[in-house]
Structure 1
Amino acid sequence: MRFVLSPIVKASTRSAAAGRARTRRTRTRTGAWVSRGRDPREPDGRDAPEAKERDARASHGRDARGSRGRDARGSRGRDARGSRGRDAPRRGRQLAYSELEPRSLDEFTRRRKARKLIAVLAHFLGRDGEGAQALAGLRVLDIGCSAGFICDELAAAGAEVTGVDIDSAGLRRARARFARRARFIQADGLALPLADGTVDVVVLNHIYEHVVDADVLLAEVRRVLARDGLAYLGLGNRLGIMEPHHGLPLLSWLPPGLADRYLRAAGRGEHYYERYRSRPGLRRMLARAGLRAWDYTVPVLLAPEAFHAEADLPPGGPARGLLRAVTAPGRLPAPARAWLARAALPLAPTYLWVATPGSRGPAGHTLPGGPQPVT
């Protein structure tokens, strides 16, 4: 029996060894190919025609790596890929986000949001009285810049602006209109092509929920920030009542499988790719990245005119009535309005935070209701 089985065992061993060798060769070729494809632009700065397809193919099999070659893994050491293979389709959505989400091309709304975030940054910097040049002399990075409307407003405020996005179609629009006012780079926010400590201000506005690993994204934000730099963070809340992308109540509260079924039943899509976090989860995410945040949500809510945020209030119904009761001066004493606004924070749809890697705090004039440190 021993002599009969011996050739079979040897053949099986040789087959397994050959399989391992083929796997090593495949990994080597794939690694070299991904390395050669890191810069998705041609030498003259235009999008390479094959970049979109290359990135989509690469995302199916490679780990998202940082700019210094490290594995892009979360704080618990997990791989940046999802457990159910959902991240390749999500990456595909990112590559053409401006085509799938027409709201990202709404110039009026994007410019209004830009004016709001500039007002918040100007207050934090103590430049809220400087008007049109509130960001003069600052190096600003807009992650997820899409068609570049926010970048254009940042440049008008005096900043030296770089816009980064993985969406090649959005970047083509941005370069066509704003190439003289800002620099645009196609790159993954999980591996920013910038040296450490070379950015004064990072703008990260409603981006974290779309990426494969938000912890890696925040680590990259921290890495590129200068020692006294700051980041404007517009952060969607998982516990917000109305999910903003699909307009379905409580959608973001559900686990992935139930969220998918809810989306299909409502006729709004097949899969729910966004991954929101609650306020405590966002706070932990920033702490892991080494960032300390100040919350501007309540000050902007109580003084929307000062921050160009009037249109952010709900268009009608009981929610607008409640917010008007909270925000309108004279209806309630100022301390009561601030208390009510803070009590509603766990269910706020969006948080407006300014984060720093050090102990820097707001330098602007006193505002009703804050800003308060995020604790």
Structure 2
Amino acid sequence: MRPLDSFARRATLRRSAGLLGAFRFEQSDPARFYGALAADTAAMVADLWAGTTSSPVAGRTVLDVGGGPGYFSAAFEAAGLTYLGVEPDPTEMHAGPASEPGSGMFVRASGLALPFADGSVDICLSSNVAEHVRHPWRLGNEMLRVTRPGGLVVLSYTVWLGPFGGHEMGLTHYLGGARAARRYTRRHGHRPKNDYGSSLFAVSAADGLQWARSTGALVAAYPRYHPRWAWWMTKVPGFREFAVSNLVLVLRPT
């Protein structure tokens, strides 16, 4: 079985539309949005594991780098995995189920220096975090380090020039990140949570692919929220920066 075979069957236009519809609740009802995203992510990781190892995912350990409020923990544990969340911001950890009893194990730490031994987890996931750190590929290298040989690393991030690259700043990021942040501040009276240059950075699809290929561990790359028939966009330089929106890099350490 090829790495993407199982997931490709679920990557339909209906799934894409459902996730896009849930996105509008990110600010007003985060539990609704992140609950849907968590369920989809757990299923995606299970499919990728099956495609790369030809074995069931239940019983494995998943390390979620940048787990935030912990919405993913229940979805992964329902799939039979042991969930470990890493989050550097204590306010994020207390903004959701991460602070509730029985919600999995969480560690306050930086993804750039993970407090785990080499090869200590089966799966390492980072969902929509790389665009928020100044050194995203140092994060990627740490994920590879802590994942055992034959395990799975799934690094997914928002591409800067895609339609969601500006996050809550909307499409104004096409005017430039600093200018978009100033415009947002004038309009709302405060800096954006995802503030260009401090908590949001311009990460390209080309840079991610170059890093992943340089590791020798890349097994697949595709646009996370697109239907299967649109995955070809990842292969087109230039165009992919605007069309891919969110790039998934799937790596298998050796």
Q: TM-score range by the shorter chain?
A: 0.7 to 0.9
Measure how far apart 1:119 and its partner are: 2.3
Which structure 2 residues correspond to residues 224-263 of structure 1 after superposition, within 5 A?
A: 224-251=146-173, 254=176, 257-263=178-184
Q: Is the 8 A contact 1:134 1:157 kept in 2?
A: no
Identity among equivalent pairs (%): 23
Which structure 2 residues correspond to residues 96-111 of structure 1 after superposition, within 5 A?
A: 103=27, 106-111=30-35
After superposition, the C-alpha distances for 1:197-255 in whole angstroms (9 at most, x for unaligned) are 0011111001011123212211211110111111222211111134352242151672x
Q: Distance in 1 between matches of 2:28 and 2:154?
A: 18
Q: Runs of 5+ in structure 2 lacking a partner? A: 1-25
Q: Is the 8 A contact 1:143 1:165 kept in 2?
A: yes
The corresponding residue for 1:349 is 245
Q: Is the 8 A contact 1:135 1:154 kept in 2?
A: no
Root mean square deviation, CA, Å = 3.2
Equivalent residue pairs, number: 219
After superposition, the C-alpha distances for 1:77-131 in whole angstroms (9 at most, x for unaligned) are xxxxxxxxxxxxxxxxxxxxxxxxx749712211211222222222222279x9x
The corresponding residue for 2:10 is none
Which structure 2 residues correspond to residues 85-234 of structure 1 after superposition, within 5 A?
A: 103=27, 106-126=30-50, 135-172=57-94, 173-177=96-100, 179-234=101-156
In 2 relative to 1, CA 127–356 (structure 1 residues): closer, same or farther, beyond 3 Å? closer
Q: Which moved more, 1:195-204 or 1:166-175?
A: 166-175
Q: Higher Cα Rg: structure 1 or 2? A: 1
Aligned AA (2:33): T
In 2 relative to 1, CA 243–176 (structure 1 residues): closer, same or farther, beyond 3 Å? closer
Q: Distance in 2 between matches of 1:250 and 1:346?
A: 16
Q: Distance in 1 between matches of 2:183 and 2:215?
A: 33
The SS at the match of 1:191 is: coil
The SS at the match of 2:113 is: coil
Q: Is the 8 A contact 1:136 1:158 kept in 2?
A: yes
Aligned AA (2:131): E
The SS at the match of 1:107 is: helix
Measure how far apart 1:341 and its partner are: 8.2
Q: Is the 8 A contact 1:297 1:353 kept in 2?
A: no
In 2 relative to 1, CA 212–108 (structure 1 residues): closer, same or farther, beyond 3 Å? same
After superposition, the C-alpha distances for 1:136-194 in whole angstroms (9 at most, x for unaligned) are 111100111122110111111000111110122333454542x4352111111111111
Higher strand share: 2
Which structure 2 residues correspond to residues 52-63 of structure 1 after superposition, within 5 A?
A: none
Q: Distance in 2 between matches of 1:269 and 1:293?
A: 42
Which structure 2 residues correspond to residues 18-97 of structure 1 after superposition, within 5 A?
A: none
Q: Is the 8 A contact 2:222 2:234 kept in 1?
A: no
The SS at the match of 2:34 is: helix
The SS at the match of 1:230 is: strand
Q: Is the 8 A contact 1:236 1:276 kept in 2?
A: no
Q: Distance in 1 between matches of 2:130 and 2:231?
A: 28
In the superposition, the TM-score normalised over structure 2's length comes to 0.72
Q: Distance in 1 between matches of 2:174 and 2:150?
A: 35
Q: Is the 8 A contact 2:164 2:245 kept in 1?
A: yes
